[in-house]
Amino acid sequence: MMVPVNTNGASPLLVVGLGNPGADYEGTRHNIGAAVLDELGDHFSVNKKVNAHVDEIRVGDRKVVLAKPRSFMNLSGGPVKALAGYFKVKPAQVVVIHDELDLDLGTVKLKKGGGLNGHNGLKDIAKSLGTQDFLRIQMGIGRPPGRMAPASFVLKRFSKAEQAEVPVMFADAADLVTGLAAGTVTA
């Protein structure tokens, strides 16, 4: 299935990296979506109207808005809806980058619509946008070991052995974003 991507510059692509605010959450599995945006942008500033850190880049003639909500992940829907309204972006032009327990560490997958896999951040976004038909870049973080609760696992930092995978995942996700913006990637 082809993803309808407008590359004529009329409608920006909104790329939202999910995570939790604050130093305690930096480097955790749950913040991998927000961390990916640092691969793409470097001039983030706080936009209080949309409660997010925002940067704007261009891929060819297409504006790409990079946003890291300042809310906790499970309350991302309000900021994402505000961002979409502020930048006049339809849900089909929203890309959410997030951690995914159901994918092996290192796997990066593009998905359009469909189930939310129990991800509370995605659930809140779908509720606020009124649809699940937005793009997702899923960042595989693997399953928790043993009987560790998933909620505890996602808030852990990557082990030294796992850290070698993280930059490769970031680069793969950044490539997907630029491909989407250029109209060369399908989902």
Supply the pLDDT for residue 10.
52
30 given a catalytic annotation = yes
Residue 2 has pLDDT above 90, yes or no: no
Q: What is the mean pLDDT of the chain?
A: 91
Over 50: is that where the pLDDT of 82 sits? yes
CA 82 and chain centroid, separation: 16
Query: Does 56 fall in a domain?
Result: yes
25 is in an annotated binding site: yes
Q: Is the pLDDT of residue 172 over 50?
A: yes
86 is in an annotated binding site: no
- Please identify which of the residues 30, 53, 98, 119 carries the catalytic annotation: 30
Task: Give per-residue pLDDT as tens, 109-118.
Answer: 999 999 998 8
Residue 72 is assigned to a ligand binding site: yes
Instruction: Report the DSSP beta bridge partners of residue 46.
Output: 53
CATH at 44: 3.40.50.1470
- Residue at 119 is within a domain: yes
Q: Which amino acid is at 114?
A: G
- Count other C-beta atoms under 10 Å from residue 55's C-beta: 19
Strand partners, 94: 14
Is 49 domain-assigned? Answer: yes
What percent of the chain lies above the pLDDT cut of 90?
A: 86
**186 pLDDT band (50/70/90 cuts)?**
confident
For residue 6, is it within any domain?
A: no
Round to whole Å and give the CA distance between 68 and 46. Answer: 9
Residues 3, 90: Cα–Cα separation, whole Å: 13
Torsional sign, CA 105, 106, 107, 108: positive
Q: What is the Cα gyration radius of the chain?
A: 15
Whether 30 is covered by a domain: the verdict is: yes
Residue 70 structural domain: 13-181
Task: Say if 90 falls within a structural domain.
Answer: yes
Q: In this model, does residue 122 exceed pLDDT 90? A: yes
* Domain assignment present for 46: yes
Number of domains in the chain: 1
Q: Residue 86: pLDDT above 60?
A: yes
170 is known to lie in a ligand binding site: no
Q: For residue 95, what are its two tokens? A: 């890309």
Q: Is the pLDDT of residue 6 over 70?
A: no
Residue 8 lies in a domain: no
Task: Provide the greatest CA pair distance for the chain.
Answer: 49
